[in-house]
Structure formats: C-alpha cells, structure tokens
C-alpha cells in the first residue's frame, strides 16, 4: 500500500515540478544524460509526468511515491487506457531493491513494452525495468527484464550481448546525488 505524502512543489532547472520526487527524477535523468520533457502531452484523461524522447523510441514516465516494486502495478491501468502507443515506465520513490529479480541490474521501475500482433492488436507487457550499460553506445540505458533487450538510447539489439553491468552501486549513488540537487529547492515566493 502506498503511503499518502504531501507533495512539495519544487523548482529544478527552471521547471516548477508538482513534487520534489518528480524534480528528483528529472535530476536523475540529467545525471544519466537522458533527455526529458515534463508533462508534455495530454492523453485521454491523463497527463504523464515525463516523456523521455530517446532517439530509438519515446518512453512515457509516471512517477509515484511507491516504496516497493509491487506497489507500482496499481498504476498500469491509467497508462493502458490513455491512448499512449509506445513503451512506458512507472518509477517509485527511488531505485528499487535489486534482489526482486534474479538479475545483477538495478531496478528503475515497472516497464512495459508493447507486444504487437499481425491483426494490429497490441498488448501491454509489464515487468521490471532494469538499468544497464550499453556496450554499443557506451551509455546507461534500461531494458525489460523479460522482453526485448533493446537499448533505449541507441536502439541496439543483439539479444543480451550488449548488456553491460553498472559498476557497484552506481545507480544508488546517482539517485543520492539527484536527491541532493533537489532537497532544499523550494518554489519562489513572489
């Protein structure tokens, strides 16, 4: 069950975020050099928190104050009904515990890749979104734990042969740095 928390509006890099958690995710994306757009599009009854316009494919990001991986699943329906046609990632209150799946990759959230069929029907397939170092473009990316292992940054796909491990607890260090960048930021009073 998600704990109810009071959102603290936070200014980061000239953008007024509705919550400090959203601002922290923006700082995290900046650390990884992932391009982001905040609340960039109106979908059917829903405005996603971010879209990451990667060269290979745009990725919708929804931010929720979930503290464990299992809590993220309750938010999938809104995205599925929204009309969004690309992949989506639901992130929580930080990097998730890596012991939830038998992979040596940090869990960034709950990732869906769309399964398209010959009759143009598409299903949502949700599972752990895992962070990796792409051995082709030499940048940090993410992959679906049970679906296609494409690099979102460059689109490289050669099975799992391009998945490099992050060093030590890099993701946790990057997250702590992102929190430090947004911890004391408050909206300006006019």
- Tens digit of each residue's pLDDT, the chain (190 residues): 444 568 899 999 999 999 999 999 999 999 999 999 999 999 998 999 999 999 888 999 999 999 888 899 999 999 999 999 889 999 999 988 655 444 578 899 999 987 655 545 568 889 999 899 999 999 999 988 887 778 888 888 876 677 888 877 889 899 999 999 998 655 555 5
Strand-pairing partners, residue 129, are: 109, 144
54, part of any domain: yes
Q: What's the Cα-to-Cα distance from 20 to each of 47, 72, 104, 144, 189, rounded to whole Å?
A: 18, 18, 29, 27, 17
In a domain, 64, yes or no: yes
pLDDT reported for residue 65 = 95
Q: Which of 62, 53, 113 is nearest to 92 (CA)?
A: 62
Q: Is residue 138 part of a domain?
A: yes
Helices (H), 63-143: 76-81
Instruction: With H, G, I as helix, E, B as strand and everything else as coil, classify residue 65.
Output: coil
Beta bridge partners of residue 96, listed in sequence order: 107
Query: What total of structural domains would you count in the chain?
Result: 1
**Domain that includes residue 28, residue range:** 10-115+122-182
CA distances from 143 to 15, 59, 77, 107, 170 (A): 28, 12, 21, 10, 17
Residue 1 domain flag: no
Q: Is residue 4 part of a domain?
A: no
Residue whose pair of structure tokens reads 């923006």 in the numeric block: 26
The reported pTM is 0.88
Q: Given CA atoms 180, 14, 5, 105 in this order, what sign does their dihedral have? A: negative
Q: Is residue 178 situated within a structural domain?
A: yes
Task: Report if residue 72 sits inside a domain.
Answer: yes
Residue 189 lies in a domain: no
Tokens 């990796």 correspond to what residue?
132
């Amino acid at each position: 069950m998600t704990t109810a928390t009071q959102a603290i509006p936070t200014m980061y890099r000239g953008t007024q975020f509705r919550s400090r958690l959203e601002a922290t995710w923006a700082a995290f994306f900046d650390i990884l050099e992932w391009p982001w757009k905040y609340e960039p599009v109106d979908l059917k009854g829903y405005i996603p928190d971010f879209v990451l316009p990667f060269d290979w494919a745009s990725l919708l990001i929804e931010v929720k104050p979930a503290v464990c991986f299992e809590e993220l699943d309750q938010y999938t329906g809104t995205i599925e009904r929204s009309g969004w046609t690309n992949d989506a990632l639901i992130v929580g209150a930080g990097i998730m515990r890596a012991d939830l799946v038998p992979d040596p990759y940090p869990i960034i959230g709950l990732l869906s890749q769309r399964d398209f069929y010959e009759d143009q029907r598409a299903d949502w397939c949700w599972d752990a979104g895992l962070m990796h170092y792409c051995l082709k473009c030499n940048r940090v990316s993410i992959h679906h734990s049970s679906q296609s292992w494409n690099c979102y940054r460059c689109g490289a796909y050669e099975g799992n042969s391009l998945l490099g491990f992050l060093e030590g607890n890099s993701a946790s260090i990057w997250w702590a740095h992102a929190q430090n960048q947004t911890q004391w930021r408050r909206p300006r009073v006019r």
